[in-house]
Amino acid sequence: MKVDGFSVGSIVEMRTMSPLHYSDKSARMQSDDAAAGFAEMFNSAFGRVNDLQVDAESLIQKMIYEPGSIDIHSVMIAQQKAEVALSLARSVRDEAVRSYRELMNLR
């Protein structure tokens, strides 16, 4: 029962802001699988490294077949980006392998 817009009695009206508040469906819980997220992050990072390598290689080939269509600076910049990304990926891989071996030796 309402009097002047206010609830009176033992039944109080609840305001709902989110559809989850009044939905009969339970909220879908997000998976908290850290290992899957970690692996996905590595896969995407190494995929980007591969993309940089492929882009640099395609620019080099384009420079060979169509020398006037591409600037040498663009080729060198793409090549350096690919080299730096690959160097970082190697460092991360080496550190991950070293850490894994260290953990295995703790037993």
Helix (H) or strand (E) holding 84: helix 72-105
- The conformation of residue 70, written as its DSSP 8-state character, comes to S
- pTM attached to this predicted model: 0.61
* Cα–Cα distance, 56 to 54 (Å, whole number): 5
pLDDT values of the chain reduced to their tens digit, one per residue, 107 residues: 555 555 566 666 666 666 666 555 555 555 557 767 878 888 899 999 999 999 999 999 999 999 888 899 999 999 999 999 999 999 999 999 999 999 999 87
* Cα–Cα distance, 85 to 50 (Å, whole number): 9
* Cα–Cα distance, 92 to 85 (Å, whole number): 11
3-state secondary structure of 68: helix
**For the chain, which residues make up each domain, given as ranges?**
33-107
